[in-house]
Structure 1
């Protein structure tokens, strides 16, 4: 029957049969390189997140990026199960108190300059969006692992080093966070 369908150029099922045959051929090629039982469409997730130390930039990150990183680590400290993350986050706040206070003041001044009397409401709305983005990460295990690794390192580095590593650390914490942080306004 299939032989007749393929040979006939006018048979109504010919085009569907050709497409089906091509699809099966492609599937056979794909599956031949796999072990039995594996599916070509099964998503692959890393077993464990690789937490690498961020490299230092030549220049410190903007206050927006530093504050966004602090925000992401804050969310992680609240929602991740690692007790050491909470402790490291609190120690990081103490170790980098001056940098974070200056960053906070610069961000508030920037919002006042941009929005005048609406600055507080606009900044609050922007920070809510940022916090929500961290709270709704796709892979919480990787997010928590990245946050834990950076918070642990942040305790023992200088504020200057933290500022130079902030952008890469934020990008590792959540892909797209750097872009979000710089476009919140």
Structure 2
């Protein structure tokens, strides 16, 4: 089993050593005070939103395509989201590879076979190019906080999914993962509770005062302000 995981780790670009694979205890993390509310909803493997086009693919190959894009997105998150230890990006990604190794291994074989069938001798190179471009399509700087928050939440869901059911997580969460690549900003930033509200001062013109009382015409003007 250990050799099998090491072999899969080399194929999938495992971040940490394969010998250290373990299912961690997931920890919740929140990068925003107000949740951005990224678009969500199920998506099929044949949807252009998933990733690069794979024309002529079978339903099984589209399934593998969806899984492979989810894995690539979480792999990129493991590399880009280490600034926050609370996200557990690397540990959770390694845990997913261990927990869902068989399903991911089948996706790898299915996609590899697709590219060989579709492109003949160039199949392996096309598959390598496809994988590289898929990684690059998840790389982000301006949207890093949103992407890392969503990827971390998806990783926790993937760890909780029974073996053989990672596809269901990919189907339900890929739209949200792609949406998180769009920069968002915390809406609460528009309001600063630490600012001191300054009251409107009454006019200091002597013509507005009679003894210590504000004249009615000036009081009316102040109230309007």
Equivalent in the alignment of 1:110:
114
On the 8 A contact 2:74/2:93 being kept in 1, the answer is yes
The one of 88, 100, 103 equivalent to 1:99 is 103
Per the alignment, in what secondary structure is the counterpart of residue 158 of structure 1? coil
1:160 Cα deviation after fit: 3.7
1:162 Cα deviation after fit: 1.9
Q: 2: distance between equivalents of 1:164 and 1:150? A: 12
More helix by share: 1
Q: 2: distance between equivalents of 1:55 and 1:115? A: 30
Equivalent in the alignment of 1:139:
143
Q: 2: distance between equivalents of 1:137 and 1:103? A: 29
Equivalent in the alignment of 1:65:
66
Equivalent in the alignment of 1:82:
84
Matched, 1:173 2:169: no
Equivalent in the alignment of 1:157:
161
In structure 1, list runs of 5 or more residues that go unmatched: 1-44, 178-185
Q: 1: distance between equivalents of 2:41 and 2:162? A: 14
Q: Note the alpha carbon deviations across 1:70-113, whole angstroms, 9 max, x for none.
A: 00000000111233121111111100000000110101011110
Q: Call closer, same or farther: CA 1:154–1:56 in 2, change over 3 Å.
A: farther
How many correspondences in the alignment? Answer: 132
1:129 Cα deviation after fit: 1.5
Computing the radius of gyration from Cα coordinates, the structure with the larger value is 2
Q: Call closer, same or farther: CA 1:163–1:105 in 2, change over 3 Å.
A: same
Say which is worse superposed, 152-161 or 75-84, in terms of deviation: 152-161
Q: Note the alpha carbon deviations across 1:14-50, whole angstroms, 9 max, x for none.
A: xxxxxxxxxxxxxxxxxxxxxxxxxxxxxxx984445
Q: Give the TM-score normalised by structure 1.
A: 0.61
Equivalent in the alignment of 2:133:
129
Q: 2: distance between equivalents of 1:176 and 1:119? A: 31
Q: Aligned Cα RMSD in Å?
A: 3.1
1:174 Cα deviation after fit: 1.3
In structure 2, list runs of 5 or more residues that go unmatched: 1-31, 45-58, 182-225
Structure number with greater CO (CA < 8 Å, separation at least 6) is 1
Q: Note the alpha carbon deviations across 1:129-164, whole angstroms, 9 max, x for none.
A: 211110136511111001000111211211343212
Q: 2: distance between equivalents of 1:55 and 1:160? A: 18
Q: Give the TM-score normalised by structure 2.
A: 0.51
